[in-house]
Structure 1
């Protein structure tokens, strides 16, 4: 284990030096073969028989894939349809300078061998960008003397693509508010017969000399006009990106930094880069405060705005939803996004994730969540229907995971594993003719660190779980003979939920897990095993904290509890100089008293009011009995006075109520069978006209509001006297209960969590570290 930790520290130091030093952030953006080929076509003004950017011609010569193509491929190396125009453009560049004959031959072989397969993918739903770019590259290749042989059976598909191109040129304006990217940004792919005026090009040049920040379109604009501003732009690009041309330039360096932070956090590595992350977020927040009204309509802008919102809010910065929901009030933009959903798919995915952090009353986030989900689902349907992998190459499982299991119901540790294993391709958004990617997100050392870090945690978790099993067995809890044996479940959930916030805090994890085991056994004793006399004796013993006279199961429970509380109190006295024995005993008695009250209700057939029930039920769920003692060992720790029932903070009460309601929604049928009441059944008894669906909906509405309030209190300062680590622990345990009771009661299941437990603790990660693209 020690050698693994040494390896992790060494990797961290290397990555800090290489990713967070003065390195040019543009080097993190993966090159576009298509755009690089276009710059390689430009002749030297004084030596027209040579390229002015010879380095890019060399790039084309040296970056052909073994299969003969240039451009995009998925994680197993298979080409996407973007490889067709990219390969054609690269062959044209080589033909232009009479070099790379072997490359051209292999490129042609690839085209002829794969054209049918790739074109069939878009037969029924040809993307707009492909309909514009592919015909243009076919015509340019043929005009360059490259002979492409189209099979007879493809002529129908080709005719459809060329017809789509014709329709686009006839119906769209060169630059209008209804189409993105604007048609003029595809100048490089315009047919030779298209009469484009030089004045039209010059009119739309940006201040930096680019045509819509597109290197390929700007290269074509220079070839057509010889405009000096265009050349200055291209020279600037070459100086910043000597190893290949990105699909967009200039790039937003702040966005690149945000993506780096996002990647590090999702890989579970934030603990190693806290200072670097905080510095970046502080810089981003300064920019955010100066931000004026957004008018841009580009996927990159929406992607950045939503990502910045999520990361800033996660780090406790005060940000408003309108910083990224600005597009919601623009009907033309919404309509445009729906018509061009392929360009906005990754942006909408990010918008959807941003809405996870919704506070109470933020209705614009509800609208953004609904709209983004609709567009993502539309893209996924198109992918399934048309087998069109170009939208999100190998990223569909990540999206499906996001849609099927909400963030609130996911555990950090398993989320990190999913991201390491599935996120092989870092698609940010679709560019004009290729994807815009950050190669730093798949930097081999970063992925290696993620794997080693995850498996190092697994080794810690295995050792802690074995220690916990011994403890549970030694005190007779795991073999008590009734109820649910949940030693592994309790540890898995608590460790996996706090893996990012408490990476090496074994003490807190074991306190939490032991508390949960004791609660599970004692709760089952009250629900299933103990007679009313036994329950009364045990409750009185806890009240007096004296187990004399107890026997059987009651004695086992009390003795284990007494030893556990004494151990915690002794550690706290040693570490922090404060004796919290009475505080801990009071919390546990409060919990036992609540269980006793509920057992009395059930035994007498008493139906409490919903307020009376919730007051007792939010105590009997016992989440505060887990959270507050553990919080005493965080840094900074929970103030001791917050252990007193009279001093519980609002966030603690919200956690208690939320977890009770989550349990009630999934457990009312089981509890009805054994004669116990819960909030769902109480609503029915107080509203005879309602049915069970009405009752569940009523409880769920209350729950949703309380969860939003808790998220706000957990993330933002100023709501309570609890330190941030304590508040984050509250949020982690809400997520644990959401996981247990999301769509069913998996805590009571014997098999539902076994696969997740194996992946979290035992099974090595399935990942091949990737080289930069």
Structure 2
């Protein structure tokens, strides 16, 4: 165990060592597609040589073992974006008459895998792929590179061509919108007739780039020979000798946010607490110092992704941040229209908007609107069958506040798209291979180390329940494993504090057994005797089940007090703990009398009693005495509980009531759903449930506000607040769409994933298919439009026949919306 922890700590320190004086761009994987375009540019003085030989060398040294260049998922498998990158990389090698064996290997990759990758867009082809992919095929043919695809893929390629024609016919290359990816940003892939040299020159940015895109800028330079454009490209070569990014400059604060997000989603946040604090403080300071928001020319999706991610992370870490930081898109009808028009381009950003909307406080109405907008968008996206739906369906179907962190970490470790940062022009920006591998290995090791701890603690807990006789009472629910799983999987912010987990789980077990005793088999005499025994903390006169429950509780209280004395010296908390438990037993007794006597209390009296009987405060407050900083003794059993604790008690009760009302009706027990109907006779059962759910929604927002914001009105520490949040999420998980706590089977799969099953990291490999070569005749048929050829004569420079490396030549060309 110690050696495993030491190994994790060593790996953490190694990663921190790599990150000292960290260049943020090193966290983002280079773009093979853009690098290949720079490798294609001839030298101005020596046109028979590449201007940027280092990028040609990069291509020669960075072909994947499977034969592709470009984008791969977390486990190294190619994505559809790799097709275009591979073809352009082969074009660059062919142009400079090098890497013949690598070209052949790339061809073999396409032969074997092209059909499967193209199947991803056979029904819904995104704009970027429809523009870029056919252009790379035409570029390859122009240089004499015969690209082979499986025969079955030809129909898909024909469909992609039709999509391209449709996009080009309805979109202008140069538009008036300054926030949406104009077609001109895909300059390197546009037909030669489509854009004039004047349009290109007029749309170059002040830094000489074409929309901050290295590939588009490379083409712009080859067309215009613009010196500012050349300066931009040379600055890329100087700053990025090992492959260029997909865009430059990038927003470094965006990268910082992505680093923090990745660490947390992999379950590594506790290993990099200081680093995360520094990064978020820098981002927050920059937002505060930003006097006006300046949108990038075609970066609206990227900006929205960044701002919504900043809101999530900063709010979760206690910063006072307004939803307006990302809700600006709601107030621009043109932006909203463009978002709804292009699902693919905005899906990643809108998914982040939806995640951000989980963290709403009271009266944040624009956040409610953002949630409604993003939810509708994502449902439409799913209905349209666009791409990989796994993450979106997970967000839509399982609310954030019902998900336990440990299981979320496992899901992200196993997610093949976990290395995605944000959507770029023609592919995703992904974590660099080096950092992805290092972080993934650390995350797996860390997760499985926690599993080894959890298994041992659970066995110890089972021995404790057997020793004190509460594992086999002969009635009610035996929930030792459920209680431990819920605590362990939800309290990842205290990864190595075994005692807090054990204390919380033991408390949950005793609560379950005692609650069932009061509900099921205890006679009125037994219940009163047990309650008053707890009140005087003396088991005299108890027997059978009553004595078993009291003895287990006495053992727990003595253990907690003894450990607290060792920690704090002379401070004794036994009386506070006893009072805390007596309050709960008294609430159980009152409820039992209501049920047996047929009493109907007011809703107010019911809630005051039942929020105590749900006993969440019995779990979080004693455990908080062992957090750092500790819960002060006077907060353990105060005259008035903190607002956060009261909200936890109320929410837990209402969640339980909504999912248990039918069973409790059959058992003759009271429930807020029924009492609501008694006090408001006009309500039917569905109306009453809706009313309770609305109350839960409002109280939940208030609860989140107390957890996430230090308003100076609460003395509770951040770890104590997080423990409250963990307890709340457990109740939301157990009482989400049905009462899973009472089921013996509903949680088994999650328990196995959390504690027993090793992490799965395998995906099905791509398999070869029969192939056919795309020769001139095939390409002509693929790019035929309505059985008519579209002929154009273009005044355009060829990237392979430049005068002194740049300038313009006249080339009569027949093209089907392409380079043919």
Q: Identify whether the pair has TM-score above 0.5, normalized to the shorter chain.
A: yes
Counterparts of 1:93 and 1:440 in 2: how far apart (Å)? 23
Query: What is the match of residue 53 of structure 1?
Result: 52
CA distance 1:658–1:100, change in 2 (3 Å): same
Question: What CA deviation, in whole Å up to 9, does each residue of 1:471-507 have, x standing for no partner?
Answer: 11111111221111111111111121112x2111122
Partners of 1:257 and 1:440 in 2: CA distance: 17
Native 8 Å contact 2:614 2:649 kept in 1 = yes
Displacement, 1:170?
3.6
The answer to which of 436-445 and 690-699 deviates more is 436-445
Alignment partner, residue 588 of structure 1: 581
The equivalent of 1:572 in structure 2 is 564
Check if 1:657 corresponds to 2:650. yes
SS at match of 1:638: coil
Q: SS of 2:446's equivalent?
A: helix
Range that drifts further, 79-88 or 748-757:
79-88
Match of 2:321 among 319, 343, 364: 319
How do 1:741-760 and structure 2 match up within 5 A?
A: 741-760=735-754
State how far apart, in whole Å, the 1-side matches of 2:283 and 2:202 are. Answer: 33
Between 239-248 and 208-217, the greater mean CA deviation after superposition: 239-248
Q: Deviations over 1:254-284 (max 9, x none)?
A: 2112111111111111111111111111111
Q: Is the 8 A contact 1:337 1:344 kept in 2?
A: yes
Structure 2 counterparts to residues 694-773 of structure 1, below 5 A: 694-718=687-711, 719-767=713-761
**Aligned with 1:693 (options 686, 691, 700):** 686
Q: 2 CA distance for matches of 1:149 and 1:9? A: 48
Distance 1:764 1:574, change over 3 A: same
CA-to-aligned-CA distance 1:231-273 (integer Å, 9 cap, x gap): 1111111222212222111122221121111111111111111
**2:209 paired residue number:** 210
Root mean square deviation of aligned Cα: 2.2
Residues 639-654 of structure 1 mapped to structure 2, 5 A cutoff: 639-654=632-647
* Residues 263, 441 of structure 1: 8 Å contact kept: no
Alpha-carbon distance change, 599 to 177 in structure 1, aligned in 2, over 3 angstroms = farther
Q: Is the 8 A contact 2:295 2:303 kept in 1?
A: no
1:30 matched residue in structure 2: 29
Check conservation: 1:426, 1:442, Cα contact below 8 A. no
Between the aligned partners of 2:621 and 2:588, the Cα distance in structure 1 is: 19
Quick check: 1:26–1:240 contact (8 Å CA) kept in 2?
A: no
Structure-2 change in CA distance of 1:470 and 1:125 (3 Å): closer
Q: What's the offset of the Cα at 1:153?
A: 7.3
Is 1:169 the equivalent of 2:168? yes
CA distance in 2, matches of 1:543, 1:118: 69
Matches within 5 A, 1:179-328: 180-194=180-194, 196-291=195-290, 292-293=292-293, 295-296=295-296, 297-328=299-330
Contact 1:248 1:436 in 2 (8 A): no
Q: Distance in 2 between matches of 1:637 and 1:259?
A: 32
Instruction: Choose between structure 1 and 2: higher helix proportion.
Output: 1
Alignment of 1:67-86 (within 5 A): 67-74=66-73, 79-86=78-85
Q: Quote the residue 1:546 is aligned against.
A: 538
Per-residue deviation at 1:590? Answer: 0.7
Name 1:362's counterpart in structure 2.
364
2:431 to 430, 438, 445: 438
In 2 relative to 1, CA 444–565 (structure 1 residues): closer, same or farther, beyond 3 Å?
A: same
2:126 maps to 127
Matches of 2:104 and 2:755, distance apart in 1: 51
Residue 17 (structure 1) aligned with residue 11 (structure 2)? no
Instruction: Determine the structure 1 residue equivalent to 2:817.
Output: none
Is 1:603 the counterpart of 2:605? The answer is no
Checking the alignment, whether the CA contact within 8 Å between 2:213 and 2:248 is kept in structure 1 is yes
Q: Can you list the C-alpha shifts for 1:697-716, whole angstroms capped at 9, x where unaligned?
A: 11111111111111110111
* Shift in Å, 1:74: 4.6
Give the alignment partner of residue 622 of structure 2, picking from 619, 629, 645. 629
Distance 2:236 2:335 in 1: 30
Secondary structure at the counterpart of residue 661 of structure 1: helix
Higher relative contact order (CA 8 A, sep 6+): 2
Q: Are 2:455 and 2:755, in contact at CA under 8 Å, matched by a contact in 1?
A: yes
SS in 2 for 1:428: strand
8 Å contact kept, 1:345–1:429: no
Unaligned runs of 5+ in 1: none
Matched residues in 1 for 2:153 and 2:483: separation?
59
Please name the residue that 2:783 is paired with: none
- Does the 8 Å contact 1:139/1:191 carry over to 2? no
Question: Does the residue aligned with 1:766 lie in a helix, a strand or coil?
Answer: coil
TM-superposed deviation, 1:172: 2.0
- Confirm or deny: 8 A CA contact 1:346 1:428 kept in the other structure: no
Out of 337, 340, 361, the residue aligned to residue 339 of structure 2 is 337
Distance 1:155 1:416 in 2: 40
Query: How far apart in 2 are the matches of 1:9 and 1:506?
Result: 18
User: SS of the counterpart of 2:421?
Assistant: strand
The Cα of 1:380 is off from its aligned counterpart by: 3.0
Partner of 2:5: 5
TM-fit CA distance, 1:69: 3.5
Most deviating of 720-729 and 169-178: 169-178
- How has the CA–CA distance of structure 1 residues 515 and 293 changed in structure 2, closer, same or farther, with 3 Å as cutoff? same
The secondary structure found in structure 2 opposite 1:646 is: coil
Between stretches 374-383 and 571-580, larger displacement belongs to 374-383
What is the CA–CA distance in structure 1 between the aligned matches of 2:490 and 2:670, rounded to whole Å? 30
- Indicate if the aligned counterparts of 2:75 and 2:416 stay in contact, CA closer than 8 A: no
The alpha carbon displacement at 1:154 in A equals 6.5
Q: What displacement does 1:536 show?
A: 1.0
Given that 2:210 and 2:216 are in contact with CA atoms closer than 8 Å, whether structure 1 keeps it comes out as: yes
* Superimposed CA distance per residue, residues 544-586 of structure 1 (whole angstroms, 9 cap, x where no aligned partner): 2222111111111112212221221222223213111221111
Contact map agreement 1:89 1:141 (CA 8 A) in 2:
yes
Contact 2:519-2:592 at 8 Å conserved across structures: yes
Q: Deviations over 1:276-327 (max 9, x none)?
A: 1111111111011123235445222111111111111111000000101111
Name the residue aligned to 1:382: 384
The structural deviation recorded for 1:46 is 1.6
The range that moved more, 76-85 or 509-518, is 76-85
Change (3 A) 1:603 1:263: same
> What residue is the counterpart of 1:452 in the other structure?
445
Which of 512, 515, 518 aligns to 2:507? It is 515
Encode CA deviations 1:150-202: one digit per residue, 9 max, x unaligned. 888776655544344344334322232568311111111122333x3333222
CA offsets per residue over residues 364-412 of structure 1, 9 Å max, x none? 11221222223333333333xxxx6xx45xxx43333222211101111
Secondary structure of the structure 1 residue equivalent to 2:520: helix
User: Please, which moves more after superposition, 421-430 or 455-464?
Assistant: 421-430
Q: 1:379 to 1:98 in 2, by over 3 A?
A: same
Query: 1:207: how far off?
Result: 1.8
What is the alpha-carbon distance in structure 1 between the residues aligned to residue 186 and residue 268 of structure 2?
A: 40
Structure 2, gaps ≥5 residues long: 764-820
**Equivalent residue of 1:555, what SS?**
helix
Gap change, CA 1:113 and 1:596, over 3 Å in 2: closer
* Residues 1:118 and 1:733: Cα distance change in structure 2 (over 3 Å): closer
What pairs with 1:470-489 in structure 2 (closer than 5 Å)? 470-489=463-482
* SS of equivalent residue, structure 1 residue 579: coil
> What SS does the aligned partner of 1:598 have?
helix
Greater CA drift, 119-128 or 485-494: 119-128
Q: Distance in 2 between matches of 1:123 and 1:423?
A: 21
For residues 513-535 of structure 1, the C-alpha deviation after alignment (integer angstroms, 9 at most, x for no partner) is: 11111111111110001011111
Asked if the contact 2:74–2:436 (Cα under 8 Å) also holds between the matched residues in 1, the reply is no
